[in-house]
Amino acid sequence: MDRVLMQAVRFDKIEPTAEARRASHLCRAGRTGYVRGMDLHIPFDNSFARLPARLFTRQHPTPVAAPRLIVVNDALAELLGLDPAALRAAADVLAGNRIPTGAMPLAQAYGGHQFGNWNPGLGDGRAILLGEVVGRDGIRRDLVLKGAGPTPYSRGGDGRAWLGPVLREYLVSEAMAALAVPTTRALAAVTTGETVLRDSPLPGAILTRVAQSHIRVGTFQRFAASGDREALAALTAHAIARHYPLATGPADLLAAVTKRQARLVAQWMGLGFVHGVMNTDNCAISGETIDYGPCAFVDSYHPMAVFSSIDRAGRYAYGNQPQITLWNLAQFATALIALAPDQDAAVKDYTQIINRFADIYHSAWLTTFGAKLGLARPTEADRPLIEDLLALMARDGADFTNTFAALPTAQAQDMFTDRAAFAAWQARWQARAPDTALMARTNPQVIPRTHLIEATIAAALAGDLAPFHRMLAAVTRPAQPDPAFSRPPTDTERVTQTFCGT
Ligand code: AMP
Ligand code: MG
């Protein structure tokens, strides 16, 4: 992906504005003299920074010309034990212009298989980890500034993000959270007052991303590939302590991650979510969805829907996602083998562990789609009922979200051209006495539709953020019907290609 990205985007052509150069000069001159704003207390406790130094590089954000707040996520701030009002008053912190007390900014090192090709030299190229906080729920989370400037892992990139992908990630990740899908979250977004050059000059922006950690399959792969057993062991112990405290070693860790990833991808499937760039560096050990670059929710259903402009072979198509998750887990297993005293035995053990993926996934899929049909305890005998509905939907390209939402209503039949076939299916389904309250809890009325995200970004580029705020309100209340946000795209509105969030 990055080769494509690097060819298409002339990062080398970007010169900072005079204002930015001045701001960055001022800041560097006075490292300790960061401007003090209203008191924002963040109770940092930075455990990743205590790991062996090869795992990261200490890196300060590069200050920007004119930070301006777009949005703060009050509920998430409160969960983290932060004062939303103080955050709102701290656009300089959210832009990386001021480093809050206790932060230890760093860029993490990782590698990854990108579209199946191994790249040992990835890492946070434009994301900087400020540090970790333990929230009111007792969960430790990373605070990351995405788009905070170049790092040693930028590989010629500018380290920046523009407004469009920042708003998209904000909307989609918060929608996923509202849909109860494990995901990275969005705490805040700011504009930088600087221009970022992509195909054209675009307004720069920075997202504050929150995650239970940013440790990826690719993080393990990097240190396995370089034969750094010590770093790998420290990383493994860290991941276990942080995410799977009951695990007693690498085999348990693998089993736990396998289970979480299987359940995660089943949830994606149940929402018609296509991640779009399931590289191993975008596969989080925590089991959270990470990287909202070229993702999209399927509107007109096709079992092999693919949107990403660079996914020409459909490697990450909707229907391929479970297999790709397993492929990624196989890479994780391979990386962990280096830690085993008896590697031949570990190959056998780990193969058995990841081969349990299929059963866990199939049962999670059945539970997910069973609930979508109002079946609280679906059995194997219900599988054909689900598959037959999906086949009817595929035949007509029925809207994925709206079809499930409409099932309990008289409008359901309007989704299909072959009404007789749908009526026959409906009779079989009704015979199972579906629980419509379960369906209402399970099937969203509103998901972040790509064409509406694009319209929101276009409005923001024209200076109007009201549509973004309206859409955010709608997608974070997914059970509430909202005709303005449940409208499928017309043929001219349909977005058939999505792009990496650069
Ligand atoms: P992603 O597509 O976000 O998964 O990114 C893949 C890799 O490219 C990661 O190492 C990113 O940090 C890096 N990257 C993406 N965009 C940029 C950019 N504008 N500047 C520097 N590095 C980038
Ligand atoms: Mg990524």
SS3 state of residue 75: helix
CA nearest 261: which of 171, 351, 321, 349?
Answer: 321
Question: Of the bound ligands, which one is closest to the alpha carbon of residue 282?
Answer: 2
Instruction: Give per-residue pLDDT as tens, 59-78.
Output: 999 999 999 999 999 999 99
**Residue 18: pLDDT above 70?**
no
Q: How far from 85 is each of 97, 189, 394, CA to CA, in Å? A: 18, 14, 48
CA nearest 123: which of 192, 54, 182?
Answer: 54
Q: What is the pLDDT of residue 8?
A: 34
pLDDT range class, residue 342, cuts 50, 70, 90 = very high
Instruction: Give per-residue pLDDT as tens, 147-172.
Output: 999 999 999 999 999 999 999 999 99
High-pLDDT (> 90) share of the chain, %: 90
482: annotated active-site residue: no
Query: What's the average model confidence in pLDDT over 234-257?
Result: 98
Q: Which residues line ligand 1 (CB under 6 A)?
A: 2, 122-126, 153-154, 157-160, 282, 291, 293, 500-502
Q: What is the pLDDT of residue 6?
A: 28
Question: Of the bound ligands, which one is closest to the alpha carbon of residue 128?
Answer: 1
pLDDT range class, residue 39, cuts 50, 70, 90 = confident
Element (H, E) at 114: strand 106-114
Ligand 1 atom nearest to 160, measured from its CA:
19
Ligand 1 atom nearest to 125, measured from its CA:
12
CA nearest 475: which of 452, 495, 491, 454?
Answer: 452
**Residue 254: pLDDT above 50?**
yes
In the chain, the amino acid numbered 236 is: T
Identify the residue whose C-alpha is closest to ligand 1 atom 14: 125
What is d(CA 230, CA 223) in angstroms, rounded to the nearest whole number? 9
**5, 126, 162: which to mutate for ligand 1, most atoms within 8 A of CB?**
126
